[in-house]
Amino acid sequence: MVSYKELGLVNTREMFAKAIKGGYAIPAFNFNNMEQLQAIIKAAAETKSPVILQVSKGARNYANQTLLRYMAQGAVEYAKELGWEKPQIVLHLDHGDSFELCKSCVDFGFSSVMIDASALPYEENIALTKKVVEYAHQFDVTVEAELGVLAGVEDEVSSAVSHYTKPEEVVDFATRTGCDSLAISIGTSHGAYKFTPEQCTRDPKTGKLVPPPLAFDVLDAIMEQLPGFPIVLHGSSSVPQEYVDIINHFGGKLPDAVGIPEEQLRKASESAVCKINIDSDSRLAFTAAVRKVLAEKPGEFDPRKYCGVARDYMEDLYKHKIIDVLGSDGKA
Ligand code: G3H
Ligand code: 13P
Ligand code: ZN
């Protein structure tokens, strides 16, 4: 058993309370490799933003959970080296799908876990979430749960109104499970194709797709039911057109990729939404950099030359999210 406290990590409790009070959101960035982690930590240290490092199922399969945890431990020390005296860094399990997995992360030094039982029937979601909460809270590890289903990786069927979180369920769910934060479904979804062209309108000037707005009425109704309770948004990448254009220009094929407009995420950040999950945008930044460097310098074969540029792109992206979208700069 390793306590995250020994590793210099923190849980989300105080972080979320401050974020709700202050009208900003904490960035939750997924990481799978060293360059991504370096970029996240540099961006957070330079902007003095609290940050959540997320480990997904894909990341565990790709990079190994043990290695990722040691990397996060190293990240705390790296942050201090960069001059961040008291780094506010959470190590979080993203989309945990079983009690055993959540337990293994709690036992191994994660400071926060998500149990995503949102695909299960309501009562089963409550039972599993409660079990994880009871275990995690013994070690002061915070737990994120989910109610409602997002389109994309969680649901083969494209997003429909019936999958939104039902505001009438949230009090019962939060009370009975004891979860510390709640991921909700209000129209965001995972990946770089959040909406089909049919769900969007076209901007007559640019010809670009304009996605439908998030269901802020559902968010408002949830906040009315659970005043001051920490709310989480998954699937919050914005799919920056500049990266899509670079990728497509240098041989990629990402037609009609579309994300959540940043103004809407900024608006959400000012509410009880205090954790915003971003993964796909970092993938796009990385891929754009690698495609560009390799296309412009076909003789390049030192991975540091293109992964280094990818790291710079990601660092700029993370800083932009922190400062211009979530408003978490200067809060740590
Ligand atoms: O929730 C989805 C995240 O973007 C992680 O995806 O399991 O492919 O790493 P992944
Ligand atoms: P994006 O695919 O929109 O980046 O969402 C990431 C996410 O929700 C991770 O849990
Ligand atoms: Zn997610």
Q: Is 192 in the pocket of ligand 1 (CB under 6 A)?
A: no
Which residue has the CA at smallest separation from atom 5 of ligand 1?
A: 56
CB 295: neighbour CB atoms within 10 A?
13
CA–centroid distance, residue 167 to ligand 2 (Å): 22
Answer yes or no: pTM beyond 0.85. yes
Closest ligand by atom to 188 CA? 2
Tell me the C-alpha distance between 182 and 177, whole Å. 11
Q: What is the mean pLDDT of residues 302-331?
A: 98
Q: Which ligand is nearest to the Cα of residue 279, counting in written order?
A: 2
pLDDT at 169: 98
Place of tokens 């559902």: 218
* pLDDT, tens digit, 9 for 90 and up, residues 104-153: 999 999 999 999 999 999 999 999 999 999 999 999 999 999 999 887 65
Nearest to 254 by CA among 263, 241, 235: 241
Mutate-to-test residue for ligand 1 from 95, 101, 239, 276, highest number of ligand atoms within 8 A of CB: 95
Mean pLDDT over 36-47 rounds to 98
Which DSSP state fits 214? P
Q: Of the listed 94, 116, 180, 329, which one is catalytic?
A: 94
Distance CA 329, CA 133 (A): 30
> Which residue did the predictor score with more confidence, 237 or 255?
237
* pLDDT tens digits, 264-275: 999 999 999 999
pLDDT band at 247 (very low <50, low <70, confident <90, very high): very high
Q: Among 85-89, 198-202, 247-251, 315-319, where is mean pLDDT lowest?
A: 198-202
Residue 183 confidence (pLDDT) = 98
Over residues 143-200, the pLDDT tens digits come to 999 999 887 654 444 444 448 999 999 999 999 999 999 999 999 999 999 988 888 9
Q: How does residue 218 score in pLDDT terms, banded at 50, 70 and 90?
A: very high
Pairing of strands 181-184, 231-233: parallel
pLDDT of 226 reads 98
Please report the domains of the chain, with CATH numbers, ordered by start residue. 4-326 (3.20.20.70)
**pLDDT at site 152:** 66
The HSE-up count of residue 271 (CA atoms within 13 Å, CB side) is 21
Average pLDDT rounded to a whole number, residues 55-65: 95
Centre of ligand 3 to C-alpha 234, Å, is: 4
Distance of alpha carbon 246 from alpha carbon 204, whole angstroms: 22
Tell me the three state secondary structure of residue 220.
helix
Q: What are the CA-CA distances from residue 194 to residues 144, 150, 190, 238, 259 (Å)?
A: 23, 10, 7, 9, 6
- Is the CB of 153 inside a 6 Å radius of any atom of ligand 1? yes
Q: Give the pLDDT of residue 51.
A: 98
Known catalytic residue at 94: yes
For the chain, report the end-to-end CA distance as a whole number of angstroms.
28
Residues 80-93 pLDDT 10s: 999 999 999 999 99
Q: State the Cα–Cα distance between residues 145 and 135, nearest whole angstrom.
A: 14
C-alpha 81 – ligand 3 centre gap (Å): 31
Q: Which ligand 2 atom is nearest residue 114's CA?
A: 10
Q: 278 CB less than 6 Å from ligand 1?
A: no
| Ligand 3 centroid – CA 275 distance (Å) | 11
- Looking at all shown ligands, the one closest to residue 191's CA atom is 2
Residues 6+ apart with CB under 8 A from 127: none
